[in-house]
Chains A and B, each alone.
Chain A
């Protein structure tokens, strides 16, 4: 059997004296889409931030246990967090393009931080990432316009293009559609379908329907505990755990 792309083992994390995640065990296969669901405050965002070491950027934050990316411990002393975040990209709830930077420069911003590129290389990478993010046709004639000139949905795809430009293995998405209208949401979901296979995607979402539509596996977190992880189809038709059933059917007090 192939080793999972991500292997979370006995993961605990928190802030100061407060433990937010308790002994999480999770394996995520390469090229799959995994949805993380759970009520507000259950630790979903903290969890995905432990997968690219963004959690530790907050003062007082701590992590114990192991997160393996292709069997390499992300928290080993020789791992450079900045380089790690190229392998494990992230897209946030609110689109956050650099507002005054051009569309093209937004896409290649991550690359510029870690190396020098010729103009030709920059152009090629920007086009590839924008095509992958299904934004190329809409922006190809105005690559020098500021990123902030795009609509909310386009800005979010621009952020996805920026994450893809550095050719990551894993893409973390923290409620990427929560600020978008249904059409923009459908575009992002369509994009997730097209990125499946090439990238391993971990998606935090509050929308049960979105989790059901785009993911193959779904994990339910409750008060920092991983209650259940299973095939998405099973979770949304017949979950094993009563707490999962209560949550997804809206019976949670």
Chain B
């Protein structure tokens, strides 16, 4: 449990920072959901509209970094406050990259829909669900300082890796069998890679949560030591 700061203006800034991170994460999460929906439904228009929402997430990153810098300069925070602000800036970068990955998925969705490809997108919707759940849990872990939840997120990375491999082998098989065009098969494999990268960013956010609470850098510890 994090107790309140004596300086209420600083406490207010910390609250604003958490709200901004949550808002940015929600935007990135919704972009991902719509990008995968546009892909699966073959909706090129939805794909283009979703890609445009990247600008708002970019602006969120700029605003959060600006706020972090101002807080460091004005309050010169220490210990857990310092770690929170340091990690918040990195977390915003992870969220911005997740929205970039959503844009990449939108571009593939547009290309595939326009090319008349209608799937099937075996494993892709499930991958998206797992990745988004990891993202939401990692954000909750960070915003509520819940390291147990952060640890759970770290363990789910393998699940996404397995799904990625299954998409790659399924699509390769379809290309080999002549069921789908090579370029289309590779585009679907790319989408799986983008979703795997989303999970990597969710994992990084969970690692930021552990760092913020315990000052423990688990980024390169390997799965056993985490």
Q: Are A248 and B79 in contact (CB under 8 A)?
A: yes
Q: Is the CB of B5 within 8 A of A236?
A: no
Closest to A253 in B: B6
What is the CB-to-nearest-CB distance from A250 to chain B, in angstroms, rounded to a whole number?
5
Can you list, as one digit per residue, whether each of A105-129 has a CB less than 8 Å from chain B (1) or not (0)?
Answer: 0000000000000000000000000
Q: List 24 A-B contacts (CB under 8 A).
A: A208-B78, A209-B76, A212-B78, A236-B79, A236-B82, A237-B79, A237-B82, A237-B83, A237-B215, A238-B79, A238-B215, A239-B79, A245-B79, A248-B78, A248-B79, A249-B5, A249-B77, A249-B79, A250-B5, A250-B7, A251-B4, A251-B5, A251-B6, A252-B6
9 additional contacts (CB under 8 A) given A249-B77, A249-B78: A208-B76, A209-B76, A237-B215, A238-B79, A249-B79, A250-B6, A250-B7, A250-B10, A251-B5
Per-residue B-contact encoding for A214-253, CB less than 8 Å = 1, 0 else: 0000000000000000000000111100000110111111
| Residue contact B80 to A249, C-beta cutoff 8 Å | yes
- Grouping DSSP codes into helix (H, G, I), strand (E, B) and loop, the B interface class, with mixed when no group exceeds half, is loop
Interface size class of A (residues with CB under 8 A): 10 to 19
Cβ–Cβ < 8 Å partners of A253 in chain B = 6
Output the residue of B7, B79, B214 with the most chain A CB within 10 A.
B79
Residues of the B chain whose Cβ atoms lie less than 8 Å from the Cβ of A208 = 76, 78
Q: Write out the residue numbers on chain B whose beta carbons fall within 8 Å of the beta carbon of A249.
A: 5, 77-81
Chain B 71-99 interface residues, beta-carbon cutoff 8 Å to A: 76-83
B181 to chain A: closest CB distance in Å? Answer: 54
B residues in contact with A212, CB < 8 Å: 78
Provide the residues of chain A in CB contact with B78, threshold 8 Å.
208, 212, 236-237, 248-249
In the assembled complex, the CB of B215 is this many whole angstroms from the nearest CB of chain A, namely: 4
Q: Which residues of chain B have a CB within 8 Å of any CB of chain A?
A: 3-7, 10, 76-83, 214-215
What residues of A have a CB within 8 angstroms of the CB of B83 in the complex? 237
Query: A237 CA to B79 CA in the complex, in Å?
Result: 4
Taking CB atoms, residues of chain A closer than 8 Å to B10 are 250
Report the separation of the CA atoms of residues A170 and B202 in the bound assembly, to the nearest whole angstrom: 52
The CB with the most chain B CB atoms within 10 A, among A238, A246, A251, A253, is that of: A251
Q: Mark A90-103, 1 if CB is under 8 A from B, else 0.
A: 00000000000000
A216 to B15, CA, bound (A): 33
Selected from B4, B76, B80, the residue in CB contact (under 8 A) with A245 is: B80
A212 to B82, CA, bound (A): 13
Contacts of B4 in A (CB 8 A): 251
Instruction: Tell me which residues across on chain B come within 8 A of A251, comparing CB atoms.
Output: 3-6
Please give me the residue from chain A that is nearest to B76 by CB atom: A209
Which residues of chain B are near A245, meaning CB under 8 Å?
A: 79-80
A242 (CB) vs chain B CBs: closest residue: B3
Minimal beta-carbon separation of B72 from chain A (angstroms): 11
Chain A, residue nearest B86 (CB): A237
Residues of A with C-beta under 8 A to B81: 249
In the bound assembly, the distance between CA atoms of A236 and B79 in angstroms comes to 5
Q: Which residue of B lies closest to A238 (CB)?
A: B215
Q: Which 9 A-B pairs have the closest CB atoms?
A: A238-B215, A248-B78, A250-B6, A249-B81, A236-B78, A209-B76, A245-B79, A251-B3, A249-B79
Residue on B with the closest CB to A212? B78
| Nearest chain B CB to A150 CB, angstrom units | 30
Q: How far is the CB of B101 from chain A (nearest CB, A)?
A: 32
For the complex formed, measure the closest distance between the CB of A248 and the CB atoms of chain B, giving whole angstroms: 4
